[in-house]
A and B are shown apart, each in its own frame.
Chain A
Amino acid sequence: MTYQDDIGLMAHLMRRAGFGASRDELEARVAKGYVATVEELLNPEAQPPVDPYELLRYQPSALLPGGQPPMGNVNYMYYMVTTKRPLEEKMALFWHHVLATGNSKVDNYDQLLEQIVLFRHNGMGNYRDLLLKIAKNPTMIFWLDNNQNHGTAVNENWGRELLELFSLGAGNYTEKDVREASRAFTGWTFETKIPRLPYGRFPWKFEYRPEDHDDGAKEFLGHRGHFNGEDIIDIIVQQPACARFICRHLYNFFVADEPQVPAWSLEPPRDPAAIDAMATAFRESNYEIRPVLRLLFKSDFFKNARYRHLKSPAEVVVGTLRLVGGYDLPKPGYGELSMQPSYMGQDLLNPPSVEGWHTGSEWINSGSLMARINFVADQLGNQSLPGVRAIIDRLKAKTILEPDELVGECLDLLGPVEVGADTRRELIDQARQWGRLSWDSGPNAQIAAKRATEMMQLIAATREYQFA
C-alpha cells in the first residue's frame, strides 16, 4: 500500500470508529499503525476522559437540563466533539440507537444523559450485562411501561421490545414468549422520584418489588422454570438469533447500510459471511462486544466498505465540528449547534420511536440534505476556525495551485473524499473559472484562501460527501 492508501484507510477507520480526524491526526495515526490504532480505540481507558467539570464551569444547566432542549443536547454534543475516546462515544450513540429511549415521553433529558453515561461505560463490554443493566434502568422502565407491569396485570411493552428490537428480532419468538417474558419482569420498577418543583430534577431509582412479581412457572423459548427477569436475559443471549441480530446492527452502524430493522426478518444481510464471523466471535467470547469490534475493524469486509455508509446527521455535525476545531470550550451558541442533527433528522436523545432512527438513505430528503450542506458549508467557510486555517495553511505551502491541483488537494484534506469522474470534472470546471491560485502576495493570498474555502464548500455539497 502507498502512503496515500494508508491515509485513506486510516481516514475510513476514524470516520467509522469515531467522527473523523484532521490530517495531522491521520498522519500521526498512520505512523502508529492501523492495528495499534484499532487497539487504542478498543481500549479507551488509555486516553483521558472528557472533563465534565469544564462543561459545567461554563454551562451549569447542562447537568440537569429537564425536559426542554437544548441543554441536554449541549451536554451530549460536548462529549462527542471533545472526546479523545471516539469509539467509546460512538458506541454510546450506537446503543442509544438500538436500545432507544426518547425525551418525547421521558421528558427528562437528565435521565437520558444518565443512560448515555451507562452506554459510554459499558458499550464495549458484555452484552448480557448491558441488557441486564438496561432492564433495570428506570428510564427504560418508564419508556416501555414496565412500571405498569404487575403480577396481576401484565403489560407486555418491555417484554415485546426486548425480544423484537433489543435482542432477537421479529420471527424468532412467539406471542407466548412475549407474554412469559413480560411475566418474568413483573415487579421491576422504580421508586417515586422527588418532583421537579421547586428545586429542579432528581433521578429515579430502580426498585424490585417481590410482592408485585409473578413467580409462577413459565415456559420461554423452550425452557421451563419459575423465571425472573435475569433468567429471561440468560436464555435470550444463548439464542443464535441474538448473536446475528446484534452483529447485524453493528454491521449496519459501522460497515455498510442495511435495510431498516423491521425488514430484517424478510431480507437477508448484504454480507451473511461477515455476520456469521462476527456472531461466532460474539458467542465464543460469551457475548463480549469488544472482540466483535476487533474482528470487524480488522476485516477485509470493513476495509473494503469505504463510502458504503451514508453519514448520520450526528456524524455530519460532529465530524465537521471536530474537523474545523474551535469548540473545545463551551461557548454561547453551543445550544444551536447541538440541535443541528435534529434539523437533519436525528434528534439526539430523542429518537422517533423505540425502533431508533431509520438509517441509510432514509436520512436524506430535500430538507435534510439542504440542512446538511448548509451546515457544513457554513463551518468550512469560516476562516477564523483553527481547523479551516490548518487546511488553508497546508494549501498555502504549495505556493501555487493549478485548478486540478486545488480540487485534488481539497478532496484529499477533507477526507480523503473519493468522488466520481463527473463530480471531479464539475469541480475542476469551477476551479478553472477562478484560474491559478497563488499565495505570492497579500491580496492574492486572501483571494486564494477564499477560493479554497469555496472549493471545500462545493465538495461538501456533493453527493459523495454525504457518505463515509
Chain B
Amino acid sequence: MPLTTVSNGRTYDWSYAIGRAAATGTGFNYPQTMCLGNDGDIFVANRGNENNFGMRVNRLKLAAPGEEELLAEFFTWGEGDGHSTWPFGVAVDSHSNVYVSDEWTNTISVFHGNGTFLRKWGKTGSGDGELLRPAGLVCDQHGNVIVVDSGNNRLQVFSGDGKFLAKYGKGGTGDGEFNQPWGITLDTAGNIYVADWKNHRVQKLSPKGEFLMKIGEYGTVPAPADAFAVTYLGPHISSTLPEEFPKAGLLNHPTDVAVDSDGDIYIADWGNHRISIFDSEGRPLTNLLGDAQVMSKWGQQSIDANPDMMKALRRVRNLEPQWRFCFPTAVDFNPKTDEIIVADSQRNRLQIYRKVRDYVDFQANL
C-alpha cells in the first residue's frame, strides 16, 4: 500500500507516529479522545484498564517528527477532585483550560493546561444539566462546553463554570436523534458534528442544534477468505483484497469526526479500522487505513531496550498488521499544519497524516 493516498484532487501523506503502549509516561493506554491545545500541544484522554493502570490525560508537545515531548499527565485514576474512574472526553478552551469527562462519575472536571485541578460539576441523571456517561466534549467560541451526554442520547451545552444552557437531541434513529453518541467537533462556522456511534453515522447540526445533514450508512466489508485477522474483530489483512475494499461511505460504529479548513470531513470509522473522508456535502472520498511503516520515537526506544523484541521483529515475515489502524477512536485536524491526527487506540499511538497542498508525483527513476 502506498504511503501517499491520492483521491478526488486531494493528497494525503503519512507523516509519522507518536507513542507506544505505556500505562504512564511517554506513551498511551487506549486513547479515547483528544483535543489540540493552543500552544502547539495536544491533550489525549486514556482509558486504562481494570487494574486501574493507565487512566490519565497526557499533554504532549507536537513539533517535527521525532520531536514530540510529554509535558504533563493528570486526571489519573483515583477518588476525589482531579482524579478519574473512566476518563473519556477532553476539550480545550481559548484560555487553555482543559475540560475532561468521567463517564462513570458523570462529571466534568476542569484543569489548567499544566494539569492543576480547578473545578468540576456534574450530577447523575437525565434532567437538565444532569449527565449519564458523558463522552466527547468540545468548546465553542463563546467559551461554552458542549457535552455529548451519551447515556441520555443528547448534547448539553454548559457555560465554562458548569451552568446548564441548552440541550439538543433525544434517543432514536431519526434526524437529530442519537444512539450512544461518542465524539464531537465544530467547523469554523460553529456547526456541530457528532459521531452517532450506534446509529453508524455522523450528524451535522447548526450552532443552535438544528439538524442539517447526516453522513454515512452502516456497513462492514466481509473479510476475504484468506485474510489474516489481526484481532477477532479485525482488521483483516489480505494480499488479495477485492477492488471495492474498503468501500467508502460505509461506517461501523463511528467514534469521532474532524473537519478541515476546506470543509472536508474525517470520520473515525472505528469498527472498520479506518478513517473515512467525505467532502463537505457528505460524499465519500477515500479512506486511510494506517501506514505506520516507520516506528515512533518512543516505540523505537522500547525496541532498542529489549533485544529479544528486536530479534523477534526481524523474524516477522509481514509487518503490515503493525502499520494498520486497530480501532481508531479519535481524529483531529490541525489547521496550522494541515495534519490529520488519528488516535490509533488499540495500538496506543497517534498516526499523523498531512493533507498535501503542493503535491508533486514521486520520483520514479531512482
> For the complex, is A317 an interface residue (Cβ under 8 Å from B)?
no
> For the complex, is B166 an interface residue (Cβ under 8 Å from A)?
no
Could you tell me the distance in whole angstroms from the C-beta of A88 to the nearest C-beta in chain B?
15
CB neighbours of B315 from chain A (8 A): 192
Give complex CA distance A415, B30 in Å. 41
CB neighbours of B103 from chain A (8 A): 58
Partner of B50, one of A52, A74, A114, A195: A74
Give complex CA distance A366, B100 in Å. 47
Residue from the set A57, A64, A70, A202 with the largest chain B CB neighbour count within 10 Å: A57
Give complex CA distance A205, B295 in Å. 23
Give complex CA distance A53, B295 in Å. 29
Query: What string of 1s and 0s marks CB contacts (under 8 Å) between A188-200 and chain B?
Result: 0001111111111
Evaluate contact between A197 and B30: CB separation under 8 angstroms: no
With known contacts A60-B346, A117-B232, A203-B229, A198–B50 Cβ distance under 8 A: no
> For the complex, is A100 an interface residue (Cβ under 8 Å from B)?
no
Could you tell me the distance in whole angstroms from the C-beta of A114 to the nearest C-beta in chain B?
5
Evaluate contact between B48 and A61: CB separation under 8 angstroms: yes
> For the complex, is A335 an interface residue (Cβ under 8 Å from B)?
yes
Evaluate contact between A71 and B312: CB separation under 8 angstroms: no
Evaluate contact between B21 and A200: CB separation under 8 angstroms: yes
Evaluate contact between A61 and B86: CB separation under 8 angstroms: no
Q: Tell me if B's interface is mostly helix, strand, loop or mixed.
A: loop
Evaluate contact between A60 and B322: CB separation under 8 angstroms: no
Partner of B303, one of A63, A192, A198, A202: A198
Evaluate contact between B298 and A198: CB separation under 8 angstroms: yes
Query: What string of 1s and 0s marks CB contacts (under 8 Å) between B21-48 and chain A?
Result: 1000001011010000000000000011
Give complex CA distance A192, B311 in Å. 10
Evaluate contact between B232 and A70: CB separation under 8 angstroms: no
Evaluate contact between B346 and A63: CB separation under 8 angstroms: yes
Give complex CA distance A74, B49 in Å. 10
Evaluate contact between A71 and B86: CB separation under 8 angstroms: no
> For the complex, is B201 an interface residue (Cβ under 8 Å from A)?
no
Query: What string of 1s and 0s marks CB contacts (under 8 Å) between B262-306 and chain A?
Result: 000000000100000000000000000000000110111111001
Q: Which residues of A39-76 have CB atoms within 8 Å of chain B's CB atoms? A: 52-53, 56-61, 63-65, 68, 70-71, 74
With known contacts A71-B50, A113-B232, A335-B50, A194–B319 Cβ distance under 8 A: yes
CB neighbours of B298 from chain A (8 A): 198
Give complex CA distance A182, B85 in Å. 51
With known contacts A70-B50, A71-B49, A114-B232, A53–B303 Cβ distance under 8 A: no
Evaluate contact between A197 and B306: CB separation under 8 angstroms: yes
In this complex, what residue of B is CB-closest to A110? B231
In this complex, what residue of A is CB-closest to B32? A60
> For the complex, is A268 an interface residue (Cβ under 8 Å from B)?
no
Evaluate contact between B197 and A57: CB separation under 8 angstroms: yes
> For the complex, is A332 an interface residue (Cβ under 8 Å from B)?
yes
> For the complex, is B117 an interface residue (Cβ under 8 Å from A)?
no
With known contacts A52-B233, A64-B231, A199–B312 Cβ distance under 8 A: no
Evaluate contact between A200 and B309: CB separation under 8 angstroms: no
In this complex, what residue of B is CB-closest to A58? B86
CB neighbours of B228 from chain A (8 A): 205
With known contacts A191-B317, A194-B322, A195-B312, A203–B299 Cβ distance under 8 A: no
CB neighbours of B50 from chain A (8 A): 59, 61, 70-71, 74, 332-336
Evaluate contact between A57 and B20: CB separation under 8 angstroms: no
Give complex CA distance A188, B52 in Å. 40
Could you tell me the distance in whole angstroms from the C-beta of B318 to the nearest C-beta in chain A?
8
In this complex, what residue of A is CB-closest to B85? A332
In this complex, what residue of B is CB-closest to A52? B233
Query: What string of 1s and 0s marks CB contacts (under 8 Å) between A61-96 and chain B?
Result: 101110010110010000000000000000000000
CB neighbours of B54 from chain A (8 A): 61
Could you tell me the distance in whole angstroms from the C-beta of A59 to the nearest C-beta in chain B?
7
Query: What string of 1s and 0s marks CB contacts (under 8 Å) between B101-117 and chain A?
Result: 00110000000000000
Query: What string of 1s and 0s marks CB contacts (under 8 Å) between B165-190 and chain A?
Result: 00000000000000010100000000
Evaluate contact between A192 and B86: CB separation under 8 angstroms: no
Could you tell me the distance in whole angstroms from the C-beta of A43 to the nearest C-beta in chain B?
22
Evaluate contact between B47 and A192: CB separation under 8 angstroms: no
CB neighbours of B317 from chain A (8 A): 191-192
Evaluate contact between A57 and B180: CB separation under 8 angstroms: yes
CB neighbours of B48 from chain A (8 A): 61
Residue from the set B182, B308, B309, B319 with the largest chain A CB neighbour count within 10 Å: B309
> For the complex, is B313 an interface residue (Cβ under 8 Å from A)?
yes
> For the complex, is B3 an interface residue (Cβ under 8 Å from A)?
no
Q: Which residues of B318-354 have CB atoms within 8 Å of chain A's CB atoms? A: 319, 321-322, 327, 329, 345-349
Give complex CA distance A467, B54 in Å. 41
> For the complex, is B212 an interface residue (Cβ under 8 Å from A)?
no
Evaluate contact between A199 and B348: CB separation under 8 angstroms: yes
CB neighbours of B29 from chain A (8 A): 61
> For the complex, is B8 an interface residue (Cβ under 8 Å from A)?
no
Query: What string of 1s and 0s marks CB contacts (under 8 Å) between A178-216 and chain B?
Result: 000000000000011111111110110100000000000
Residue from the set A64, A74, A193 with the largest chain B CB neighbour count within 10 Å: A64
In this complex, what residue of A is CB-closest to B229? A203
Evaluate contact between A194 and B21: CB separation under 8 angstroms: no
CB neighbours of A199 from chain B (8 A): 20-21, 299, 322, 347-349
CB neighbours of A198 from chain B (8 A): 20-21, 27, 295-296, 298-303, 309
Partner of B321, one of A59, A68, A202: A202
Give complex CA distance A410, B103 in Å. 37
Evaluate contact between A200 and B229: CB separation under 8 angstroms: no
> For the complex, is B59 an interface residue (Cβ under 8 Å from A)?
no
In this complex, what residue of A is CB-closest to B315? A192
CB neighbours of A60 from chain B (8 A): 30, 32, 47, 327, 329, 345-346
> For the complex, is B154 an interface residue (Cβ under 8 Å from A)?
no
> For the complex, is B6 an interface residue (Cβ under 8 Å from A)?
no
Give complex CA distance A199, B327 in Å. 13
Query: What string of 1s and 0s marks CB contacts (under 8 Å) between A211-238 and chain B?
Result: 0000000000000000000000000000
Evaluate contact between A203 and B231: CB separation under 8 angstroms: yes
CB neighbours of B86 from chain A (8 A): 58, 332
> For the complex, is B230 an interface residue (Cβ under 8 Å from A)?
yes
Could you tell me the distance in whole angstroms from the C-beta of B124 to the nearest C-beta in chain A?
13
Evaluate contact between A332 and B104: CB separation under 8 angstroms: yes
Give complex CA distance A64, B303 in Å. 20
> For the complex, is B355 an interface residue (Cβ under 8 Å from A)?
no
CB neighbours of B296 from chain A (8 A): 198
In this complex, what residue of A is CB-closest to B105? A332
Give complex CA distance A242, B313 in Å. 42
CB neighbours of A56 from chain B (8 A): 233, 327
* A residues apposed to B, CB below 8 Å: 52-53, 56-61, 63-65, 68, 70-71, 74, 110, 113-114, 117, 191-200, 202-203, 205, 331-336
What are 11 A-B contacts with C-beta separation under 8 Å? A57-B180, A60-B30, A60-B32, A60-B346, A191-B317, A195-B316, A196-B309, A197-B303, A198-B300, A199-B299, A200-B348
* B residues apposed to A, CB below 8 Å: 20-21, 27, 29-30, 32, 47-51, 54, 85-86, 103-104, 180, 182, 197, 228-233, 253, 271, 295-296, 298-303, 306, 308-309, 312-313, 315-317, 319, 321-322, 327, 329, 345-349
Q: Give the 5 A-B residue pairs with the shortest CB-CB distance, closest first.
A: A335-B50, A198-B20, A198-B299, A61-B49, A198-B302
